[in-house]
Amino acid sequence: MNWSEIRIHTTREAVEPISNILYETGINGLVINDPADLNKERRSSFGEIYELNPADYPETGVYVTAYLPVNSDLQQSIKHIESAVQALPAYEVDTGKTQIEVLNEVNEENWANAWKKYYNPVNVSDTMTIVPTWEDYEPADHEIMIELDPGMAFGTGSHATTLLSLQAAECYIHTNDTVIDVGCGSGVLSIAAGLLGAGVVHALDLDDVAVKSTQINRDLNGLQDKIFAEQNDLLDQVDRQADTIIANILAEIIVTFIPDAWKNLKPGGYFITSGIIQDKQQMVEDGLKEAGFHLVGVSAMEDWIAIVAQKPQKESGA
């Protein structure tokens, strides 16, 4: 099979929703090139270990590059992507002057190896590193190493929202905890929870590709007995009592299921939310407080925010 390379020139804010559109269309590979990465001053050593080529980046905005199978549905898929991206401003997503280009056609043999150059080990913290399966990496003593195969297009956890989620997970997930990962994607947060000692992790995603990707990566890390991945629309019809719920999703989506998160958390449980741009921080905080949550932590990286909220041990009036 051959693959058609589709490049979308858009804004940082639109990266996540456009990525979701591409996943739903059936892409097999996703690359994000943000020129801010070229000159970014890092406050810590955490993040992807790489050397960047300026020629691969736009002067302004962000490139989102994806790969679609070359078949009879290709033109229809491209039209669907264009239509869905053009509809995003109606949902208050600033896409800027978005340009969609069809670039090259890549054959299966070249794709199988060429895409790997985009993925490198990612230092999450002093004690956790995400490593693509083909990389030779020797973890330090007591370092948690998450092996990940990003072949299903979800990346290796280098995005700020994922790093924020993982760093929060290190603080709030404890031995034998029950964890729910809402919108599991590659399964990286579920795997981290399992390696941090959680007793059981329920990984949920509406996209069947994400469920299968999580299962593949779960097995790579030997967590078949801890992580249970299944298809589900957020927390709809879910009835479990978890110690921690993690959701690395857009702010607009987070606020829609805050009541379901409340119902599925034990008293004293934590709700870790990420994928929140700074302009939407107040909206999420207000939604959490209105539901009865106490805010216990807010962290920031680049233009992104993660919020940790706690369900009180006793509900008001109890």
Residues of the domain holding 237: 122-310
Q: What is the mean pLDDT of the chain?
A: 88
- The mean pLDDT value for 92-116 works out to 80
- Residue carrying the six token digits 């800027």: 96
Cβ-Cβ contacts under 8 Å for 140 (sequence gap 6 or more)? none
pLDDT of amino acid 155: 59
Q: Is residue 315 part of a domain?
A: no
Which range (47-56, 76-85, 254-263) has the least confidence? 47-56
Q: In this structure, what DSSP letter does residue 158 have?
A: -
- With both helix axes pointing from N to C terminus, report the angle between 160-172 and 188-195 in degrees, rounded to the nearest 10: 20
> Any binding-site annotation on 183?
yes
* Together in a domain, 158 and 287: yes
- Is the pLDDT reported for residue 114 higher than 80? no
Please tell me whether residues 248 and 108 are part of one structural domain: no
pLDDT at 40: 62
Residue 248 among known ligand-binding residues: yes
Question: What CATH number has the domain bearing residue 232?
Answer: 3.40.50.150
Is pLDDT at 96 greater than 70 in this prediction?
yes
**Residue 223 exposure: Cα atoms within 13 Å on the Cβ side:** 32
- pLDDT class of 136 with cuts at 50, 70, 90: confident
Indicate if the pLDDT at residue 49 is higher than 80: no
- Lowest model confidence (mean pLDDT) among 144-158, 226-240, 282-296: 144-158
Predicted pLDDT of residue 112: 63
| Domain contains 128 | yes
Q: CA-CA distance, 173 to 188, in Å (whole number)? A: 14
Number of domains in the chain: 2
Average pLDDT, stretch 300-315?
A: 91
Domain annotation covers residue 317: no
- Supply the pLDDT for residue 291: 97
Q: DSSP per residue over 211-273, as a string?
A: HHHHHHHHHHTT-TTTEEEEE-STTTT----EEEEEEES-HHHHGGGHHHHHHTEEEEEEEEE
pLDDT at 151: 62
pLDDT tens for each residue of 159-217: 889 999 999 999 999 999 999 999 998 899 999 999 999 999 999 999 898 899 999 99
Query: Closest by alpha carbon to 189, among 175, 206, 204?
Result: 204
Domain-terminating residue out of 85, 117, 149? 117
The string of pLDDT tens digits covering residues 248-292 is 999 999 999 999 999 999 999 999 999 999 999 999 999 999 999
Tokens of 69: 């199978």
Statement to judge: residues 304 and 158 lie in one domain: yes
CATH number at residue 79: 3.30.70.2170
Q: What percent of the chain has pLDDT over 90?
A: 58
| Whether the predicted pLDDT of 46 surpasses 90 | no
* Residue matched to tokens 């401003």: 89
| Same domain (yes/no): 128, 229 | yes
Q: Of 89, 117, 145, which residue sits at a domain end?
A: 117
Q: Are residues 181 and 257 in the same domain?
A: yes
Q: How far apart are CA 93 and CA 162, in angstroms?
A: 20
Specify if 295 maps to a domain.
yes
Neighbours of 74 (CB within 10 A): 16
Task: Tell me 304's DSSP state.
Answer: E
- The confidence score (pLDDT) of residue 205 equals 95
Question: How far is it, in rounded angstroms, from Cα 235 to Cα 271?
Answer: 13
Q: What pLDDT is attached to residue 83? A: 93
Residue 41 pLDDT class (50, 70, 90 cuts): low
pLDDT of the residue at 315? 61
Residue-level pLDDT at 254: 97
Name the CA dihedral angle for 276, 282, 287, 293, rounded to a multiple of 10 degrees. 90
Which one of 77, 93, 117 terminates a domain?
117
User: Quick one: pLDDT band at residue 141, thresholds 50, 70, 90?
Assistant: confident
Which carries the bigger pLDDT value, residue 75 or residue 289? 289
Q: Quick one: which of 122, 4, 129, 7 has its CA closest to 61?
A: 7
CA distance 270 to 309: 6
Between residues 28 and 200, which one has the greater pLDDT? 200
83 with 54, same domain: the answer is yes
The residue among 157, 155, 164 whose CA lies nearest residue 22 is: 155
Please determine, for residue 2, whether its predicted confidence score (pLDDT) is greater than 60. Answer: yes
Q: 53-62, 150-159, 282-291: lowest mean pLDDT where?
A: 150-159
What are 231's strand-pairing partners? 205
Tell whether the model's pLDDT for residue 154 goes beyond 80: no
CB 121 within 8 A of CB 132: yes
Q: Two tokens at 45?
A: 């050593």
Q: Is the pLDDT of residue 316 over 60?
A: no
- Mean pLDDT score, 103-129: 77
User: Is there a single domain that holds both residue 55 and residue 126?
Assistant: no
pLDDT band at 318; cut points 50, 70, 90: very low
> Going by C-beta distance under 8 Å and a sequence separation of 6 or more, which residues neighbour residue 68?
3, 4, 6, 25, 26, 27, 28, 74, 77, 78
267 and 282 assigned to the same domain: yes
Alpha carbons 242 and 264: distance in angstroms, whole number: 6
Please check if 205 is assigned to a binding site.
Answer: yes
